[in-house]
Amino acid sequence: MPLYLYENKETEEVVEILQSMSEVHEYHGIDGTEKGLWRRVFVNPNVSVDTKVDPFNKQSFIQSTVGKNDTYGDLQNRAAEASQARAQRYDGKDPVKESYYKDYHKKTNGKLHPHQQKERFNKAKEKANKAGINIEL
């Protein structure tokens, strides 16, 4: 049963009353004779859901996705945020991502992951642009 707050209009005394959600939310004092003296106080709930997901804890990430109707893109965005948080702690390199790339490299007989290829291409393109070479696709 939820707690509801009521304040006495004259004395400004606040009391907490347990009432079911289906009850009429009124309070008339302990003996019920103080009708009209008490008013309900509305407060913002203190709810904190998924405000801080530990980027180093696999279970924390999984728990943050349970029961949500996220799209695949939402999950990718959430994973990218976790990757950025890990990279900030380790001088710009995400250890989980690096480990994934290393496993991919082993499984595919030395091939680079497509994301690594894209990263290398973008770095080469930036380097060429700085040197005055314009690369267009």
Q: What percentage of the chain exceeds 90 in pLDDT?
A: 32
Q: Helices 95-107 & 72-89, crossing angle to 10 degrees? A: 110
Question: Which position has the higher pLDDT, 136 or 90?
Answer: 90
Query: H-type helices in the chain, by residue range?
Result: 58-65, 72-89, 95-107, 114-130
User: Where residue 109 falls among pLDDT bands split at 50, 70, 90?
Assistant: very high
Residue 81 to residue 75: CA distance in whole angstroms? 10
Question: What is the C-alpha to C-alpha distance for residues 23 and 100, in angstroms, rounded to an integer?
Answer: 55
CB-CB contact of 95 with 84 (8 Å): no
* pTM (2 d.p.): 0.53
